[in-house]
Amino acid sequence: MARIIVVTSGKGGVGKTTSSAAIGLGLALKGHKVVLIDFDIGLRNLDLIMGCERRVVYDFVNVINGEATLNQALIKDKRVNSLSILPASQTRDKDALNKENVGKVLKELGEMYDYIICDSPAGIEAGAMMALYYADEAIVTTNPEVSSVRDSDRILGMLASKSRRAEEGLEPIKEHLLLTRYSPKRVEEGEMLSVEDVEDILSIPLIGVIPESQAVLKASNAGEPVILDTESDAGKAYQDVVDRLLGEKVDFRFLVAEKKGIFSRMFGG
């Protein structure tokens, strides 16, 4: 049975879809069978970030309503054939989703894949609740910024009480903190919350720190998940996240502002 991982946050715009795409692709590149599901019905964007928006015929809601089979709706990634995407509908309503029909789809996917990554919409309403309900693990994406931390705390409360595992008294969802858009320079200047500050408030284990990077915007617009940009800090940091998810112990990089030497300041960027 597949491991279901929800990428959630509470706050919008913190990097859930970027992270889902990067981590999903990273796991697939390591040989695992991965499916990415876009739970943001109506505001879909996972297919854009993955670069497969022109191959969407059927979507999640079509499958739920029995208008298409999973195999018709799933889009195989062109780069790694063990990775597929189940896009969301652009026109339909998220009311089409309920626990039973989502559970059925996940069960079917669970037999085909090793990892199911659910890209959650923002907020704490039905869409987000549906995305986290069946999760075994959660990657709580947080910016080092007060409202994001507060919203992440809220979503952690929901993970602990409104998930299937909570309702059935099973082992709780394994929670991971993913700190995105981190700027060590601003942390040193006291403008931004540090890793320690966020860990102190949220008290969940850290799975990665993704530095603020211009590579992310480039990657989104190109439809190439940033993990493929192996030169960029963000790409490297996502690679570390994938390794940690798979159980490796990796030191945290990009936590300290780079001190540029005189030569790189003269000749470098």
Q: Which is nearer to other proteins, 31 or 205 (CB)?
A: 205
Q: Which is nearer to other proteins, 154 or 218 (CB)?
A: 154
What is the rounded (10 degree) CA torsion for 159, 164, 166, 170?
-130
* CA–CA distance, 82 with 20 (Å, rounded to integer): 15
Q: Which is nearer to other proteins, 31 or 157 (CB)?
A: 157
* CA–CA distance, 71 with 46 (Å, rounded to integer): 18
**Shortest distance in whole angstroms from residue 157 CB to other proteins:** 3
User: Which two three-digit tokens encode residue 151?
Assistant: 């919203």
Question: Which residues bind to other proteins, rule: CB under 8 A?
Answer: 150-151, 153-154, 156-158, 160-161, 200-201, 203
**Shortest distance in whole angstroms from residue 215 CB to other proteins:** 32
**Shortest distance in whole angstroms from residue 140 CB to other proteins:** 11
> How many residues can be counted in the chain?
269
Q: Which is nearer to other proteins, 10 or 24 (CB)?
A: 10
User: Which two three-digit tokens encode residue 64?
Assistant: 């739920």
**Shortest distance in whole angstroms from residue 241 CB to other proteins:** 23
* CA–CA distance, 181 with 234 (Å, rounded to integer): 9
Q: Which is nearer to other proteins, 155 or 237 (CB)?
A: 155
Q: How many CA atoms lie within 13 A of 7 on its CB side?
A: 31
Q: Which is nearer to other proteins, 3 or 154 (CB)?
A: 154
**Shortest distance in whole angstroms from residue 239 CB to other proteins:** 30
Q: Which is nearer to other proteins, 109 or 158 (CB)?
A: 158
**Shortest distance in whole angstroms from residue 40 CB to other proteins:** 22
**Shortest distance in whole angstroms from residue 128 CB to other proteins:** 13
Are residues 85 and 45 in contact, defined by beta-carbon separation less than 8 angstroms?
Answer: no
In a 10 Å sphere around its CB, with 0-12 CB exposed, 13-18 middle and 19+ buried, how is residue 256 labelled? exposed
Query: Which residues are paired to 209 by β-bridges?
Result: 179
Are residues 51 and 254 in contact, defined by beta-carbon separation less than 8 angstroms?
Answer: no
> Minimal CA–CA distance to 131: which of 155, 151, 154, 167?
155
> Minimal CA–CA distance to 155: which of 209, 204, 107?
204
